[in-house]
Amino acid sequence: MLEAISPIDGRYHHKTKELSAYFSEFALIKYRLQVELEYLAALKDDLQLEELKGLVLEELSKRIAQFDLKDAEKIKDIEKRTNHDVKAVEYFIKEKMTELGLAQYQEFVHFGLTSQDINNTAIPLSLKEGMKSVYLPLFSDLKQQIEGLAVEWENVPMLARTHGQAASPTTVGKEIRVFAERLEQQLKQLNTLPYSAKFGGATGNMNAHYVAYPDIDWHQFARNFVENRLQLKRSYPTTQIEHYDNLAAIFHVCSRINTILIDFCRDIWTYISMDYFKQKLVAGEVGSSTMPHKVNPIDFENAEGNLGIANALFTHMASKLPISRLQRDLTDSTVLRNVGVPLAHTLIAFKSIQKGLKKLILNSDKLQQDLSHNWAVVAEAIQTVLRKKGYPQAYEALKGLTRTNKVIDEKNIHIFIDSLMLDNETKTQLKRISPHNYIGKL
């Protein structure tokens, strides 16, 4: 691990290793094998081809179920000869069939297909399962953690800031809830997006299939195969490759989720710097190599950095993959091999945010202190009530009071209220308003 070029497989391997089952080279080979075998099964079951017997799949599936790193290395050895990764998988399966005495059925392996029929089903399948098994559970846990803090601090008053300046008070919980709601909306969008796959032969028209078996509805076969067997969405019509438009949409949503979390991390970082939050001390942990007192918000900084890297890759993939010269070029191939990379950086960030949130301690004294030192923020409330009463130039009157260099405190506010030509009931109402209770309603 110390020799790994990427921190994903080095420093952060313990945070990302669960993605290996879906996005490693081993995983890609295994998913290709799965698709090839599912295709053989579809040829047998859906089309009832006499040439293909159940024995093929039963015996072969047993052997492939034991697929391990040694087998994957054998496929890589074949690839060295063929200089073609998918063809290497095909030859591996054929070798297994020969070992089982099933050589007479070999030519139904990869029958009528191009490599992209395999890649463009294996990759969305791995992405769908990786998202379902790893990304979505972790994202849901993080969202629930944020929602829990929103509930816990729902009624804790806090001075809000617009343009960095003191503004109408809010609550800590409400500000946290804003992010929870934004994340929820993106999750809903993510869950509506299909995982699309291309399956249509060399140029999308099932040419080879129709010339071999002209009486079979091969497009219907392809729809059944992709949508019923693999539980993906078949794209049609296509060129040699998948459009990648829905894949781009998935990456765009993931990027927006990350952008929201960058915004969240920066706000939490700022609240920590304002002393609204303190952080739990971790025994033995060092904040600075020279300043012993420091407890830095490193988890949120780490998350922000990793989210930025992830978004750079998500953005590139979303803008690059839907573009291919004519029927196809190979630029999509090398890009798709990196699908797991932005997801890995995203996972690192999710876990860092979770860790950072667990350290937060609400500093109620500082929150109350800032509210008490900023009575000018109730000017909005007072001038609004005055407007309701039809008081002339209400805004201007409060502007004259508050936009001075002198301290605006409770005493000055109440002196001002007493100077107004108002009935005593209204004056009493205005005097009840304070920075601590002028928080609106969520």
Catalytic residues: 163, 288
Tokens of 420: 């107004």
Question: Shortest CA distance to 355 belongs to which of 283, 263, 282?
Answer: 282
Q: Which long-range contacts (CB under 8 A, 24 or more apart) does 86-95 make?
A: 86/32, 86/110, 86/115, 86/118, 86/119, 87/115, 89/29, 89/32, 89/33, 89/36, 89/118, 90/36, 92/33, 93/33, 93/36, 93/37, 93/60, 93/64
Write the DSSP symbol of residue 41: H
CA neighbours within 13 Å on the CB side: how many for 274? Answer: 23
Contact 143, 183 (CB under 8 A): yes
Question: Shortest CA distance to 166 belongs to which of 367, 300, 414, 361?
Answer: 367
The CA-CA-CA angle for residues 38, 44, 49, to 5°, reads 145
C-alpha distances in Å from residue 263, one per residue of 5, 93, 177, 270, 421: 29, 49, 13, 11, 45
Amino acid residing at 189: Q
